[in-house]
Amino acid sequence: MAQKLFIKTYGCQMNAYDSARMAEILAPLGFVAAAAAAEADLVILNTCHIREKAAEKVYSELGRLSRLKAARQAAGRGMTLAVAGCVAQAEGAEIMRRQPAVDLVFGPQAYHRLPEMIARAARGYGVLETAFEVERKFDELPEVRVPGGPAAFLTIQEGCDRFCTFCVVPYTRGAEYSRPVAEVAAEARRLAAAGASEITLLGQNVNAYHGRAPDGAGSWGLGRLIAHLSEIEELLRIRYTTSHPCQMDDELIEAHRDIGKLMPFLHLPVQSGSDRVLEAMNRRHRADDYRRIVERLRRVRPGIAFSSDFIVGYPGESEADFAATLALVREIGFAQAYSFKYSARPGTPAALLEDQLPDEVKVERLRHLQALLARQQRAFNERSIGERVEVLLERRGRRPGQLAGRSPHMQVVNVAAGDELLGRVVEVEITHARAVSVAGRLADARPNAPRQLAPPIEEARIPA
């Protein structure tokens, strides 16, 4: 009999990708998707540890699930409760101590062993798997891919060796690992054959990519990989995220000049505009290095739009440091951005610093920065009114009769269009701007053949 599976995904796009792969591994064992946790025989929380709030959410969700599990058990049915992802990697057995209803805890490198772990858990053993074996994970994941919709994710790189002082990723995701070019290309071709028109290449530090070359001699960087993937005919759009400024090499910058399928948008976290703070964070670049990269990209790809991540209230951040961040933001002009209060993560060097700032200061700076970024995003959206942009229609829109997709600049675009256009690239004339989206009217439906489609993976984000 079919068993039901419910996966709840937190955090980044890499987790969204991993959740899809877990569902694929479990499908041959007879697991089908449940609409809600209460109906599921197996519930997996795929967790995020990047900030404190993200981790705390997991514990409150586990409390809720433990009550669901008890209710199901009272009705004579079981529920296996699993915690995956970065909280699992970071906290391990502590999770089972805090929430005894949890049967299974496993880190991001153990997904390929899910069938075995579930079998062990079903026999009543608590299972804890947090070893790092990233190479085996990719080797042993099944090759089949269910179509992920017209805009698909593809993890090409995992882990990070940069050790920014605030960040848990080098500890939870382990050392940097790049998948071989041939493996990435094969997966991209499978996704394209299954209906994907757009691929976003994922990695915590994606532009550190250095996968083994197809002929086995040496390795290729991200720019070269993108050029290779752009030859896949059905693929119309390529994106990548998330990058580190220190690894924007010439080849990658030239890819933005030469490869039309590479979308004119880059999420490039800067974290702070103050050289003093950047140095304390171990970012290994200055604010001016960031400005220069943006300039170079704007020269080779006029109109390219930028997004970034910011942390306010890093230990010891002064008013002058914060003012430098605001100045950098004003100079660059972002199309969108994410900003966070610094959150001390146990085990990271910054958590041990003494000059932690009071929460009120962080709240006030965050409010100030977010107001500025929101004005820039709205202004960017308003400037696009009257433009004709190509939109890949990915899902139903805000209102009935509307579809939504992304512009080349990553803006969410809502447009009146029938379901028959789902998965197509259409030309849209932008007529309205909102805070975080735009709306427009259909100008032209490009003749890319209708593709076979599955529901899109939910939106999320990743660190770097």
Residues lying near ligand 5AD in the complex (CB under 6 A) are found at: 50-51, 166-167, 269, 271, 309, 311, 340, 342-343, 345, 463-464
Q: Which of ligand 5AD, ligand SF4, none does 345 bind, CB closer than 5 to 8 A by kind?
A: ligand 5AD
Strand, helix or coil for residue 40: coil
CB 325 within 8 A of CB 334: no
Tell me: does residue 163 bind ligand SF4 (CB under 6 A): yes
Structure tokens at 202: 């994922």
Burial of 183 (0-12, 13-18, 19+ CB in 10 A): middle
Q: Which of ligand 5AD, ligand SF4, none does 50 bind, CB closer than 5 to 8 A by kind?
A: ligand 5AD
> Which listed residue (85, 147, 170, 456) binds ligand SF4 by CB under 6 A?
170
Q: Closest distance between ligand SF4 and the C-beta of residue 244, in Å? A: 5
Total site size for ligand SF4, rule CB under 6 A: 12
Q: Compute the distance between CA of residue 408 and CA of residue 321 in angstroms, rounded to an integer.
A: 33
Q: Which of ligand 5AD, ligand SF4, none does 51 bind, CB closer than 5 to 8 A by kind?
A: ligand 5AD
Q: Closest distance between ligand 5AD and the C-beta of residue 295, in Å? A: 22
Tell me: does residue 433 bind ligand SF4 (CB under 6 A): no
CB 150 within 8 A of CB 392: yes
Q: Compute the distance between CA of residue 246 and CA of residue 153 in angstroms, rounded to an integer.
A: 24
H helix intervals, 92-245:
93-98, 114-122, 134-140, 169-172, 181-193, 222-229
Tell me: does residue 230 bind ligand SF4 (CB under 6 A): no
Q: Compute the distance between CA of residue 41 and CA of residue 80 in angstroms, rounded to an integer.
A: 6
Tell me: does residue 244 bind ligand SF4 (CB under 6 A): yes
Q: Which of ligand SF4, ligand 5AD, none does 162 bind, CB closer than 5 to 8 A by kind?
A: ligand SF4
What separation in angstroms does the CA of 231 have from each of 152, 206, 347? 17, 20, 43
Structure tokens at 28: 């041959």
Q: Closest distance between ligand SF4 and the C-beta of residue 326, in Å? A: 21
Residue (56 or 382) nearer to ligand 5AD, CB:
56
Residue (245 or 463) nearer to ligand 5AD, CB:
463
Q: Which of ligand 5AD, ligand SF4, none does 187 bind, CB closer than 5 to 8 A by kind?
A: none
Q: Compute the distance between CA of residue 421 and CA of residue 416 in angstroms, rounded to an integer.
A: 10
Residue (342 or 380) nearer to ligand 5AD, CB:
342
Strand, helix or coil for residue 407: coil
Q: Closest distance between ligand SF4 and the C-beta of residue 119, in Å? A: 34
Q: Closest distance between ligand SF4 and the C-beta of residue 246, in Å? A: 9
Q: Which of ligand 5AD, ligand SF4, none does 311 bind, CB closer than 5 to 8 A by kind?
A: ligand 5AD
Residue (281 or 389) nearer to ligand SF4, CB:
281
Q: Compute the distance between CA of residue 231 and CA of residue 314 in angstroms, rounded to an integer.
A: 43
Q: Compute the distance between CA of residue 58 and CA of residue 64 in angstroms, rounded to an integer.
A: 10
Q: Closest distance between ligand SF4 and the C-beta of residue 154, in Å? A: 18
Q: Closest distance between ligand 5AD and the C-beta of residue 264, in Å? A: 21
> Which listed residue (164, 268, 293, 373) binds ligand SF4 by CB under 6 A?
164
> Which listed residue (162, 210, 239, 365) binds ligand SF4 by CB under 6 A?
162
Q: Closest distance between ligand 5AD and the C-beta of residue 164, in Å? A: 7
- Crossing angle, helix 319-332 and helix 287-300, to 10 degrees? 10
Backbone φ and ψ for 206, nearest 5 degrees, come out as -65, -30
Site string for ligand SF4, 54-93 (x = CB under 6 A): ----------------------------------------
Q: Closest distance between ligand 5AD and the C-beta of residue 309, in Å? A: 3
Tell me: does residue 167 bind ligand SF4 (CB under 6 A): yes
H helix intervals, 123-243:
134-140, 169-172, 181-193, 222-229
Site string for ligand SF4, 184-223 (x = CB under 6 A): --------------------xx------------------
The 3-class SS string of 297-324 reads: HHHHCCCCEEEEEEEECCCCCCHHHHHH
Q: Compute the distance between CA of residue 102 and CA of residue 93 in angstroms, rounded to an integer.
A: 10
Q: Compute the distance between CA of residue 177 and CA of residue 183 in angstroms, rounded to an integer.
A: 13
Q: Which of ligand SF4, ligand 5AD, none does 170 bind, CB closer than 5 to 8 A by kind?
A: ligand SF4
Site string for ligand SF4, 121-160 (x = CB under 6 A): ---------------------------------------x
Q: Compute the distance between CA of residue 464 and CA of residue 457 in angstroms, rounded to an integer.
A: 21
Structure tokens at 26: 């479990």
Q: How many CA atoms lie within 13 A of 105 on its CB side?
A: 23
Q: Given the rule CB under 6 A, which residues bind ligand SF4?
A: 160, 162-164, 167, 169-170, 204-205, 244, 463-464
